[in-house]
Amino acid sequence: MTGLQRGGAAIVGAAESDLGQVGEGLNPIDLMAQGIARALDDCGLGLGDVDGLLCASTQSRTSGLSLSEYLGISPRYIDTTILGGSSFMFHVAHAVAAIQLGLCEVAVIAYGSTQRSVGRRQASVREVNPFETPYRPFLPSTAYALAASRHMHEFGTTREQMAAVAVAARQWALLNPVAWEKKPLTIPEVLNARMVSYPFTVRDICLVTDGGGAIILTTPDRARSLKKPPVYVLGCGQAITHANISSMPDLTITGALDSGRQAYAMAGLTAKDIDVVELYDAFTINPILFLEDLGFCAKGEGGRFVEDGRIAPGGELPVNTNGGGLSYCHPGMYGLFLLIEAVRQLRGECGDRQIDDAETAIAHGNGGVLSSQSTVILGTPATV
């Protein structure tokens, strides 16, 4: 993004809160606070160091107030931008800007959701749209299914190719001890699962879990003195193309094309230079779209690209190494978890799922119904 400095801030702490189905009575602010405490411990900073707070939740209209009160802080810089699951990538760009301008020095980005415990209807209140609601779209699934129908029509993408995305995610999840799903998954099992909105069965669709977490950013100077190697923000980009699927300009081209270009330009990198790829996989069509739009393959080639285990463990391009929203965890707005996994990969903390010699990572967030796209490119100290 124009105006942001490559490597102008670094992620120094990253942690999940409890995930999956959390203890009875825990609320989203509890999970944000738990994630923040763990992320502070991860880098050796304390709550007293935090002067920037960024957070988003669908269960708390004024989460910035609630979280500040809970933590007993009055942050100099506060930002509760909410644009769906990609919100946290937007937060990274805003945190880098705030740190660069001196509006704050230690910024925390936090998320929490108890949508599994309280039910999706409670966690995310449905908004009535007189131009869509009468047709009973099961949102967001129906909207993504409409986009998938165009990809299948224009490029011959198949249900089996989309199922390969779910199978790869499951293979990665089996290497992640905290992943929700614990059993292997096959392509026929995806295809024969309960149909939700054609072409998607329930196995083409992200999980419904609880969960939260936090990441901590600070200046490059301060980052170098902390517990773990800094993970630098090399590039950021963002694009909003629509809110409702009927207004999406082209159902097969997402705003990731634009957000990716901005992030690559800022980072001085291209898709070929990226070692670890974390893409928001709310539905199996998503990674296919984003692999195309972020330049890992040509437009229309995404279905063929994901066949034959290319994005699975041992494949040519590691994608969604934590098991993704499809098999690891998806509390509703998943973007923060992509950033946490990218940080851990670049620090070499990922155990059985660690990518060798990972120096660069892309974490791409999606929000709404392919509506908001935000890309963050991260790098190890060797990349700055």
Partner 1 sequence: MEQSPLAIYQSHLDKGELAYQWSPVAERAVFYPRLVCPFTGSTLLEWRVASGLGTVHATTVTHPQQGEPYNVALIDCDEGFRLMSRVEDIAPEAVSIGMRVRFRVHRPSGDKAGDEPAYPVFFPAEAAA
Q: Least separation, in Å, of the C-beta of 249 and partner 1?
A: 10
Q: Contacting partner 1 (CB under 8 A), which of 2, 72, 121, 131?
A: 131
Q: Least separation, in Å, of the C-beta of 147 and partner 1?
A: 7
Please report, as residue ranges, which positions from 222 to 261 form the binding site for partner 1 (by CB under 8 A).
244-247, 251
Q: Least separation, in Å, of the C-beta of 211 and partner 1?
A: 24
- Nearer Cβ to partner 1 (163/263): 163
Q: Least separation, in Å, of the C-beta of 368 and partner 1?
A: 15
- Nearer Cβ to partner 1 (132/301): 132
Q: Is 150 in the site for partner 1 (CB under 8 A)?
A: yes
The region of 35-43, 131-139, 165-173, 304-312 touching partner 1 under the rule CB under 8 A is 131-139
How far, in Å, CA of 105 to CA of 216, rounded?
A: 10
Give the closest residue to 316 by CA, choosing from 324, 325, 306: 306
Q: Is 136 in the site for partner 1 (CB under 8 A)?
A: yes
How far, in Å, CA of 378 to CA of 108, rounded?
A: 17
Q: Contacting partner 1 (CB under 8 A), which of 41, 61, 74, 153?
A: 153
Q: What's the token pair of residue 313?
A: 């463990």
How far, in Å, CA of 27 to CA of 59, rounded?
A: 9
Q: Enumerate the β-bridge partners of residue 237.
A: 375
How far, in Å, CA of 177 to CA of 179, rounded?
A: 6
Q: What's the token pair of residue 379?
A: 């790098």
- Nearer Cβ to partner 1 (136/183): 136
What are the start-end ranges of the H helices in 14-86?
28-43, 63-71
- In sign, the C-alpha dihedral spanning 326, 328, 334, 339 is negative
- Nearer Cβ to partner 1 (148/174): 148
- Nearer Cβ to partner 1 (147/329): 147
Cβ neighbours of residue 226 closer than 8 Å, sequence gap 6 or more: 12, 13, 43, 44, 45, 218
Q: Least separation, in Å, of the C-beta of 161 and partner 1?
A: 17
Binding mask 90-129 for partner 1 (x = CB under 8 A): ----------------------------------------
- H/E segment holding residue 117: helix 115-118
Apex CA 141: angle with CA 135 and CA 144, to 5°? 100
Q: Least separation, in Å, of the C-beta of 248 and partner 1?
A: 9
The region of 140-148, 220-228, 262-270, 356-364 touching partner 1 under the rule CB under 8 A is 140-148
Whether the CB-CB separation of 86 and 241 falls below 8 Å is answered with no
Q: Is 130 in the site for partner 1 (CB under 8 A)?
A: yes
Q: Least separation, in Å, of the C-beta of 139 and partner 1?
A: 10
Please report, as residue ranges, which positions from 184 to 223 form the binding site for partner 1 (by CB under 8 A).
194-199
Number of chain positions touching partner 1 (CB under 8 A): 28
- Angle, helices 87-101 vs 335-347, to 10°: value is 60
How far, in Å, CA of 242 to CA of 213, rounded?
A: 28
- In sign, the C-alpha dihedral spanning 91, 93, 94, 96 is positive
Binding residues for partner 1, per CB under 8 A?
130-132, 134-138, 141-142, 145-150, 153, 194-199, 244-247, 251
